[in-house]
Amino acid sequence: MQEEQLLESAERQEISNLKDTLVRHLKKWPWIVLCVIAGVFVSYFYLQSKPNKFRVEGKVFIKKSQQFSDPNELLFGGRNSFRRSNGITDEAVMFKSFPIIKSTLRELDFDVTYRKKGRFKSLELYQNSPIKIEFDRKLNENLPLRTVLEIQLVGNNEFKLYAEKPFGGEVLDGIFKFNQAIKLGSFNFVIRKNVVQGVSYKPEDVFYVSFNSIEKSAYAYRNMLKFDEVEVGSSILTMSMNTAVPQKSIDFIDRLVEKYIDQNLTEKNKVAENTVAFIDRQLKIISDSLNNKEANLEDFKSSNQMADLSMEGQMLSLIHISEPTRQAEIS
């Protein structure tokens, strides 16, 4: 009986402690609900402000090269003459080289970015921008990299332009017309309308035009460009990028492959030209050597007064013909 009483007493004590705990927490329920609501709102705003990421992938078939880079291997052979590999790893390094990526970005005009102001974040428009900025890249080598142009459409032919930061000691803030020449310090440009099929914008929409350094962008794209590990003996090179603007990355990879092919053809043509020039030089050296040997032989004959073998043969034949005639006269 005593043990049962002790168990009942322990159970009552546990129930009492649980009730006290619930009462203490219920007194703080407004704060708990407030923390939950705040967490939901923070998560929502974070997800809305964070850009969506997409994976863009491209595959390149690397043909095994049988071309000799050294003309000596072609003519005389060598230890590496028969060890030609597909060089997948080397080709991946070539794709990530700074000069080829920089040249690709420059050809695609990635030095300008267009964005549309949104409720939580600005969205890059790429090819869907209703405005386009045009400038002579040869004359305007120094772009206003720290200046962002804010543009708001006013009517069919006008827009409001504001430069957030000055450039060259000047600040822009006014209404301009499309196709009008605009000057910001030493930077001259023109804003033109760009008609996008299936896309319409409201007059109150705000757009941003920013400028990018090609050098810095080249380093950024090098870091974004990834190569999947290939199997031994495979000739397929897979490259990929995680990006918020899929079409922009697709255009970049396509143009990068084109630049690689052009560069590869240029290098192969250069190797072929060097090989032909090397063979021509070797043939000329051999020809000059043979001419020198022939000249030395002629000099040797002349210095030793050697007669022509054909003349000596004719004289011997005449002697054999005349001897029987003399014998007949004596008899």
Cα–Cα distance, 260 to 257 (Å, whole number): 5
Work out the pLDDT band at 8, boundaries 50, 70, 90: low
Kindly report, residue by residue over 282-316, the tens digit of the pLDDT. 888 887 777 777 777 676 667 765 545 455 555 54
CA distances from 289 to 71, 171, 282 (A): 21, 76, 11
Kindly report, residue by residue over 25-53, the tens digit of the pLDDT. 666 666 666 777 777 656 655 555 566 78
Q: What is the CA radius of gyration of the chain?
A: 43
Q: How far is CA 36 from the centre of its chain?
A: 47
pLDDT of 265 reads: 81
Kindly report, residue by residue over 197-244, the tens digit of the pLDDT. 777 777 788 999 999 999 999 999 999 998 876 666 667 888 899 988
Query: What phi and psi, each to the nearest 5 degrees, are found at residue 240?
Result: -150, 160
Whether this model's pTM surpasses 0.85: no
More confident residue, 319 or 263: 263
Cα–Cα distance, 167 to 149 (Å, whole number): 11
Both tokens of 81, joined, read 């003459």
pLDDT of 126 reads: 87
Does the pLDDT at position 61 exceed 60?
A: yes
Alpha-helical regions (H) of 50-158: 71-76, 88-95, 98-107
pLDDT of 60 reads: 82
Q: Which residues contact 294 (CB under 8 A, 6 or more apart)?
A: none
Cα–Cα distance, 259 to 224 (Å, whole number): 18
pLDDT of 29 reads: 62
Cα–Cα distance, 155 to 175 (Å, whole number): 11
Mean pLDDT of the 269-287 span: 81
E strand intervals along 23-156: 54-61, 112-116, 123-124, 131-134, 149-153
Does the pLDDT at position 324 exceed 70?
A: no
Go through the chain and tell me how many residues it has. 331
In the predicted model, what is the mean pLDDT of the chain?
75
pLDDT of 100 reads: 92
- Burial of 126 per CB tally in 10 Å (0-12, 13-18, 19+): middle
pLDDT of 101 reads: 93
pLDDT of 209 reads: 93
pLDDT of 189 reads: 93
Cα–Cα distance, 265 to 267 (Å, whole number): 5
Kindly report, residue by residue over 144-192, the tens digit of the pLDDT. 888 899 999 887 888 999 987 778 778 888 999 999 999 988 889 999 9
Q: How far is CA 211 from the centre of its chain?
A: 20
pLDDT of 292 reads: 76
pLDDT of 161 reads: 93
